[in-house]
Structure 1
């Protein structure tokens, strides 16, 4: 019988949303259409339309020794072309954002190839070959994983995920990379991910309403969403893991 991954424990809506996002068989719902050009502008690694810079010659031109692993693993387009490695980094508000740092690393490892995801305190970064990154970034921004008001593309000075939302429901950003156009009701980036001003603003769509956010969040929150303690299955699982780790640390005879 084939093994069926469980992804994570929990009987709550939050746990179900986490499993859904991690499962590569689940097709992520597309909610907006940020163009390739606009994704490149937000990341700020190259000018739209410019050639990709390389870290090494294309694989087809290299005289590599015979390797059985190389025959087994198909290189990504970026690796095949010799692209340099670049990154995109996200911050997600604790107030019912649709995704969150640890989950981003998990789901990216399940869904994408040739990546190096990393989770820090309140931020999550993904590094890979540049043309692969641009393709992955479109999924990360255009789908249910992203909300324009509660998720931010922030390469530096990422603080704000744990602060209260402002009067417009926007997550705090010290560099003010994105602002809410109150007349149009859409969020637009006026700076790239490291805070450099853009020549042209990038619209990333309207923020989702509170009902949708509460139904699709992957963050436990006792005040604005689902409390972690109310998810008995998740609590039982984490208590078991914690207990086993403590016992192992003391090297019990039993």
Structure 2
């Protein structure tokens, strides 16, 4: 089955307002920038996004946030984005913070058909008791707090129940993908992309190189095409942005 779509705009044209989205990437590495821009150019709003972070102020998901399209974020990291902090603290954005390993496992569980799991992460903290601020009022008071978690003991140790994440759509970026949706990620750009792809009911992959069926070595495929419904070839920019460039001086 040929899953290719001719443009990023067509690939996300049916994403409705209020949809939930799992978006791959870590910082600005492996971010599906073309699909995000296509969403930004479209009409969908009140989006509920699950992603490790929300980009930076002028790149990645930060551009969708600045356009007022995101109503809720489920993330493990919120730094590097002043607009994110401003919207959250002024009651314009709902935020659920999730430990990074727990977020990864919630996505993987969702893609594997596992409805929930127990984890020691967060046991004995305010996360277990509930009441962490998900949304503020404009005056700074808490408008919505997190619910208390079910706690069970295994082997004499407390564990929290965490629910799996399944989203209406998933947007990911791969270095190479074939027309059947099989994907190969380059190095650290693999990050959250396979997990987000698994968690989407409809997964859209932007690929830097489109391969023909049978061209990819089956042993090197990072994500099988069964998890991907749409593939769109995008330009591989020569000037991929680095969040924080660190160099060593010549000696």
TM over 0.5: no
TM-score normalised by structure 2 residue count: 0.32
Q: Which has the larger radius of gyration?
A: 1
Which structure shows the bigger proportion of residues in helix conformation? 1
TM-score normalised by structure 1 residue count: 0.32
